[in-house]
Amino acid sequence: MTGEPSPRVCIVVPCLNAEATLARCLEGLAAQTCPADEVIVADNGSRDASPRIVDDWIRARALPLRRVDVSRRGAAAARNAAVRQTEAAIIAFTDSDCVPEPDWLEQGLALLQARRDVAALAGPAAGAWEGDAAAKLLGLTTLGMETEERVVRNPGPTGMRGFPAANLWVRREAFMAVDGFDESLTTAGEDMDFCARLYASGGALLYAPCVRVRHLHASGVGGMCRKMAQYGRAHALLLERHGQPGLHVELPVWGAVHWPAPRTCWCNAVSAEKKVILVLFVSAFQPWALALIPIYIGWLARFLRRRARQVGASVGVGESLWLGVLFVVKSAALTWGRLRGSRPGAWTC
């Protein structure tokens, strides 16, 4: 830390029908070791108790909080509207279904003061071990498992080297330089697209695992599948917008390989459902191969038990096997979204 005064930070929380989690998000912000300068909840037309929850907190004066009502749908429009309401030098984004760790604000501010070479900062959004098996699986396998600090300066060959706005900090001048989030992206991918445009403008992003929030994933297998399909469609769009021409393939053992090609194609050949499909194909000629499917589910169960231990959770054998099955379902939904979102000249699966 330098002797200079800390820059003003505005925390922005987009919100749509978040009564189940919003109070816990605000409680997390109120419990910060470094008090917040300003908190804006950008309500995107909630029809549940979310506006009342925010108004109750405003009356309680536990946070420097205000609410902005945003008629245009989408988290991108909500975040942009909130940024227009503040003059803070740093904008810290999180979501209404996230609970920042107590030192989130302190850690993030210290890093941005120390690292003047970066325009933005991101951290993990690991899932809270709550809800049903689908919610727990999302918590174990999305957004939160990277452990190494690194600086990112480009979107990579597939255009997907970005970070979620569930835990994203941006200097105001960098945010304005790229005109904020793309409001045409209303379901998913607006944060990854923002990162790609930030890199293109010359900005660098620091990923720091010490700047943490906990993600409260919704329960339900159907909701999990819809969310993963949305992510898949976003992957296809990011590949089209920011991917490099060529054939990009994720392979077992070799990892990511890239070959020159006139068009852009990305295939994750190591995803769980593709392995199951391969076994089913082989079993048409060699029936014994079907025995590989329960073996693979058992291997996934063991892998997920190890991940659960990393977050201090205990998983029984039966639950871990069910999580393994759901992992394949989740992977299939993601691939389905990628296929549905693919365009001529930019195909992904």
Tens of pLDDT, residue by residue over 221-267, are: 999 999 999 999 999 999 999 999 999 998 887 888 888 888 899 99
Instruction: Find the radius of gyration of the CA atoms of the chain.
Output: 21
Residues 6+ apart with CB under 8 A from 8: 37, 38, 87, 88, 89, 90
User: Any bridge partners for residue 347, and if so which?
Assistant: 265
- Report the pLDDT averaged over residues 197-224: 95
Helix (H) or strand (E) holding 328, with range, is helix 317-341
Q: What is the mean pLDDT of residues 184-213?
A: 95
Q: What are the structure tokens assigned to 174, written together? A: 């960098």
Q: All domains of the chain, ordered by start, with CATH?
A: 9-217 (3.90.550.10), 223-348 (no CATH)
DSSP per-residue codes, 29-61: HHT-SS--SEEEEEE----SSHHHHHHHHHHHT
The pTM assigned to this predicted structure is 0.92
Average pLDDT over every residue of 306-321? 89
What does the pLDDT look like over 117-134, one tens digit per residue? Answer: 999 999 999 888 889 999
Residue 298 structure tokens? 């058992």
* Distance in angstroms (rounded) separating the CA atoms of residues 332 and 254: 22
For residue 303, is pLDDT > 90?
A: yes
